[in-house]
């Protein structure tokens, strides 16, 4: 039946499917405003969706919106990698699910991408201020259950993780999405578990990046690569993300720029900005200099 529908209607149905999967609910007016269609057309789209997947949603007359049913199974294939990129850029049109135009631009390959249904549950919990019970496999303690209150999904350049309050350790931590096996949405989060209480996440720190003092022969090339002004690029990053970003960009974080190798083309000039910042074990040269 999907094949007999127009491209425009398939896009609207993909949006319904996407919203149910990642948000857990959708108002009819969401569809109307997103695609600038009339109420009657929006109603027809929901009716068509219900014909295709009657067990995917139910209507709550009090809240006047459709909710994801427990028996929900998406009728479109939402590509995990492309969907994560869209979520990271606040794009929720489901357009990738219906074969939109492919441009001749390639992104770096990934060794693995998270399960799209795990991501959907985490996103639902985050949007609705809920805690989740997950089965998580860590490098130190193996598989166990954790109660988390997620507030952000992050691409650290190598893999995706969720930033969340961990009720076991009573602290905000990062959890790799591919290590999560199951997700069950629980109760509402308390104030001290929400993103506003995550000081490492809320605190912004400046990073002053310059061409590496020893590994770069023609510094002008690096200045052009990064749009430096007078040989300096200053960026503001979240303290919780600093270590990941410094590793991703191969920034030498030693005091005097002593790391050798062509991969180290940048040096962190204001190393002092990292004081009282966690997650720096992965920052090139920083942990070594502390020993």
Give the pTM. Answer: 0.79
- Note whether 185 and 211 are same-domain residues: no
- Note whether 178 and 254 are same-domain residues: no
How many whole angstroms from its chain centre is CA 182? 18
pLDDT value for 92:
62
Distances (CA, A) of 86 to 7, 22, 125, 263: 20, 12, 18, 30
Is the residue at 104 inside a domain?
no
Is the residue at 105 inside a domain?
no
- The C-alpha atoms of residue 104 and residue 118 are separated, in whole angstroms, by 30
Final residue belonging to a domain, choices 63, 98, 133:
98
Q: Tell me phi and psi for residue 100, to 5 degrees.
A: -70, 175
Is the residue at 56 inside a domain?
yes
Q: Measured at the alpha carbon of residue 98, what is the angle toward residues 4 and 21, in degrees to the nearest 5?
A: 110
- Note whether 146 and 94 are same-domain residues: no
pLDDT value for 93:
61
State the CB neighbour count (10 A cutoff) for residue 253.
25
Number of domains comprising the chain: 3
Q: Is 31 exposed, middle or buried (0-12, 13-18, 19+ CB in 10 A)?
A: buried
- The C-alpha atoms of residue 87 and residue 108 are separated, in whole angstroms, by 18
Final residue belonging to a domain, choices 43, 63, 98:
98
- Note whether 220 and 239 are same-domain residues: yes
The answer to whether residues 31 and 15 touch, using CB atoms and an 8 Å cutoff, is yes
- The C-alpha atoms of residue 151 and residue 128 are separated, in whole angstroms, by 10
Give the range of the structural domain holding residue 173, as residue numbers without chain letter: 116-199
- Note whether 220 and 284 are same-domain residues: yes
- Note whether 77 and 146 are same-domain residues: no
The answer to whether residues 77 and 97 touch, using CB atoms and an 8 Å cutoff, is yes
Distances (CA, A) of 282 to 142, 236, 250, 266: 21, 19, 10, 16
- Note whether 53 and 23 are same-domain residues: yes
Final residue belonging to a domain, choices 98, 125, 147:
98
- Note whether 6 and 91 are same-domain residues: yes
- The C-alpha atoms of residue 256 and residue 221 are separated, in whole angstroms, by 21
- The C-alpha atoms of residue 133 and residue 82 are separated, in whole angstroms, by 26
CATH number of the domain bearing residue 181: 2.30.30
Query: By three-state DSSP, how is residue 240 classified?
Result: helix
- Note whether 45 and 94 are same-domain residues: yes
Full strand arrangement of the beta sheet holding 204-211 = 233-238, 204-211, 266-268, 251-252
What token pair was written down for 65? 């919106």
- Note whether 41 and 94 are same-domain residues: yes
- The C-alpha atoms of residue 160 and residue 257 are separated, in whole angstroms, by 29
Is the residue at 243 inside a domain?
yes
Is the residue at 238 inside a domain?
yes
pLDDT value for 113:
80
Query: By three-state DSSP, how is residue 237 classified?
Result: strand
pLDDT value for 114:
86
- Note whether 175 and 222 are same-domain residues: no
Query: In angstroms, how far is the first alpha carbon of the chain from the final one?
Result: 65
Is the residue at 247 inside a domain?
yes
Is the residue at 33 inside a domain?
yes
CATH number of the domain bearing residue 79: 1.10.10
- Note whether 229 and 252 are same-domain residues: yes
Is the residue at 103 inside a domain?
no
pLDDT value for 95:
63
Which parts of the chain register pLDDT below 50?
100-103, 105, 288-291
């Amino acid at each position: 039946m999907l094949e007999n529908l127009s491209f425009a209607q398939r896009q609207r149905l993909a949006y319904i499917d996407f919203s149910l999967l990642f948000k857990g609910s959708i108002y009819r007016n969401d569809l109307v405003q997103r695609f600038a269609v009339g109420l009657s057309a929006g109603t027809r789209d929901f009716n068509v969706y219900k014909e295709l997947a009657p067990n995917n949603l139910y209507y709550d007359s009090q809240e006047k919106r459709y909710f994801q049913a427990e028996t929900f199974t998406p009728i479109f294939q939402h590509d995990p990698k492309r969907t994560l990129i869209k979520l990271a850029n606040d794009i929720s049109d489901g357009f990738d699910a219906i074969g939109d135009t492919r441009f001749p631009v390639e992104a770096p390959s990934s060794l693995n991408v998270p399960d799209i249904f795990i991501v959907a549950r985490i996103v639902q919990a985050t949007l609705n201020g809920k805690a989740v019970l997950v089965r998580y496999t860590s490098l130190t303690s193996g598989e166990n259950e954790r109660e988390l209150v997620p507030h952000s999904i992050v691409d650290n350049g190598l893999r995706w993780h969720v930033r969340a309050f961990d009720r076991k350790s009573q602290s905000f931590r990062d959890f790799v999405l591919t290590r999560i096996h199951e997700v069950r949405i629980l109760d509402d989060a308390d104030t001290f578990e929400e993103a506003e209480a995550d000081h490492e996440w809320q605190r912004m720190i400046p990073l002053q990046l310059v061409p590496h003092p020893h590994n770069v022969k023609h510094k002008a090339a690096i200045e052009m690569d990064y749009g430096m002004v007078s040989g300096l690029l200053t960026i503001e990053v979240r303290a919780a993300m600093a270590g990941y970003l410094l590793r991703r960009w191969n920034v030498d974080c030693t005091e005097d720029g002593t790391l050798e190798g062509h991969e180290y083309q940048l040096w962190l000039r204001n190393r002092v900005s990292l004081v009282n910042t966690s997650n720096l074990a992965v920052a090139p040269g920083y942990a070594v200099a502390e020993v």
